[in-house]
Structure 1
């Protein structure tokens, strides 16, 4: 199986690090012309230097209508859009105020809504396109330590399914990916307090999985490249019959068959 995205243009939001960067790298290696996105020029420039090749970057905060509008004005069309931008913040429900809920809703959900409104119609007009949402196993396995995050990811999965139905018959597919606990920079930072006594990051991650995601079948954190591989496949012509799906890269955390 060879994935060839030559001649395709791709946007990956929130892609200066973590899963987003790994997806951007995977798409570029498959031949796509990639645009990465981050909030600051410094972060974007550093990521472009690591990525190499002909990738371009857009330093814009997409968590506002203005940021999304500016991006679309600069980049009016893509063949592939990966809505990866997202935040998480462990916080007990009773200590989670409206501002935290609103921030998660704007970043994790509304960015994808705005980009879908802008980029799906041109894809349909060309008769081909791929839109991918990064959901989470937390969409189904709502984490008690951050209910607000789980709710936002459930919304992402629903949004992807609804948009897939809306784009039926156009040649455009819309899917969501459900990563499980993954060793991104953000997760690494969260795990550092548990690395006392000479534990490696991988060991701390495995302990976290056993304690907080005991249904995991791989009993470890996934790598960002493992998640990126699913995104690259979904972005390709090989996935032309896959749409409206929520595809799990969760290590078996969600305890049901689908």
Structure 2
């Protein structure tokens, strides 16, 4: 698990800020950290995937790329998914779901494409153990993402579960709330927390439910974005609970309490 291909999707225009954040969290540079369209691509480790889920304020998810190849039909997708060693990631006790996105795919039905990948996953487990995992379209333990372009397909397993804008602290979302990842992107673009100098007061003229102010306060206090929530990777086979406990304890130990007036 030390040589993974990760993709962290983000909002359009946020890629550069996300790359800077990923570097700050992981130390990755050069060919190990590339800016792509709609996200950043990493050559990283399982530990990096956990760290990014815990600390990233800008990524929408942390995805592990498991397969990438050309395709022409749904049968190609079935073969591609059949070759993935799903059994090293989860067991038949976990439920799963396949989600499909596409850009200019020639296939007539994305639902059918997703069905073929679902069948391939289930058939591989059944061939190896005689049992297949169940599908749960509402609250799956495992989310599998299939992304199609004109002639190439990519399969990812989602280590995050629910999207990362769900920090775990919001009890009532109110009317049309601003997503936390977008609020963090606005703060990053403002340059408010980009230096080592004392933070200037922050003014949000359109406070609404306070998302920007809360994100800013957490940044000022160095509170890890994902410290209050659960993640899909906690149900995956590579997960080691003690490693995660230590990681969260280190994050908690790094929380600071700025004096009143440092952030507002």
TM-score (norm 1): 0.30
Larger of the two Rg values belongs to structure: 2
Query: Higher helix proportion, which one?
Result: 1
TM-score (norm 2): 0.30
